[in-house]
Amino acid sequence: MIWPANLTKATLTFLCVFMISGLAIGENLGQPQGPIILTISGSISNTNGDGVARFDKEMLAAMATSVINTSTTWTDGKEKFTGVLGRDLMKAVGASGSKIHAVAINDYKITIPVSDFYDYDVILATSMNGKVLSRRDKGPIWIVYPKDDHPELRNETTDSRWIWQLVKIVVE
């Protein structure tokens, strides 16, 4: 490639890093090999086909995970949840919206501000107490808030955002 003479070394370095990082983001998303458990669409820039990002269990498992130990309205005592941070998933798909519309298998829908993912360590849990979440146990994905760590999350509005059997997110 021939570069214009007026480009500085710093500019060239920036352009190279920018191009390489853009390729890495797209490559890291990859293609699902197993059954799709989550589809993300809307205001996203990183997709793996037809303008959407599709994830199987293995793709989510390959991402860095976090653990939340918290009580819930639906279980007794504290539970240990493991899953991908919501903000990491939003970064992976290049989300640029201010809210998400989350949809469950049974068509339950809830709107969640994307700021929740950045203000708190909200995860898309795929396991509870070391057991993979099945459809019978609120899986394959359950959005979990660290409510025991943040008193302001102990309310009905936040509880309504704990969507389980999550299968679809639309970023807006």
pLDDT tens-place string over residues 30-65: 999 999 999 999 999 999 989 999 999 999 999 999
Query: What pLDDT band is residue 28 in, cutting at 50, 70 and 90?
Result: low
Residue 26, helix vs strand vs coil:
helix
What is the C-alpha end-to-end distance of the chain, expressed in Å?
38
Number of domains the chain contains: 1
With respect to residue 53, please indicate whether it lies within any of the assigned structural domains: yes
pLDDT for res 48: 95
With respect to residue 60, please indicate whether it lies within any of the assigned structural domains: yes
Stretch (H or E) spanning 159: helix 156-160
- The 10 Å Cβ neighbour count of residue 130 is 7
Query: What pLDDT band is residue 75 in, cutting at 50, 70 and 90?
Result: very high
With respect to residue 133, please indicate whether it lies within any of the assigned structural domains: yes
The arithmetic mean of pLDDT across residues 3-13, rounded, is: 45
CATH code assigned at 49:
3.90.420.10
Question: Is the pLDDT assigned to residue 83 strictly greater than 80?
Answer: yes
Cα-trace Rg, the chain: 18
With respect to residue 3, please indicate whether it lies within any of the assigned structural domains: no
Domain that holds residue 166: 9-171
With respect to residue 2, please indicate whether it lies within any of the assigned structural domains: no
- What's the pTM value of the predicted model, to 2 decimals? 0.82
Pairing mode, if any, of strands 36-42 and 166-171? parallel
Q: What angle do CA 82, 144, 113 make, to 5 degrees?
A: 130
What average pLDDT does the chain have?
A: 87
Residues 6+ apart with CB under 8 A from 98: 113, 114, 115, 172
With respect to residue 1, please indicate whether it lies within any of the assigned structural domains: no
pLDDT for res 12: 37
With respect to residue 46, please indicate whether it lies within any of the assigned structural domains: yes
With respect to residue 116, please indicate whether it lies within any of the assigned structural domains: yes
pLDDT for res 29: 87
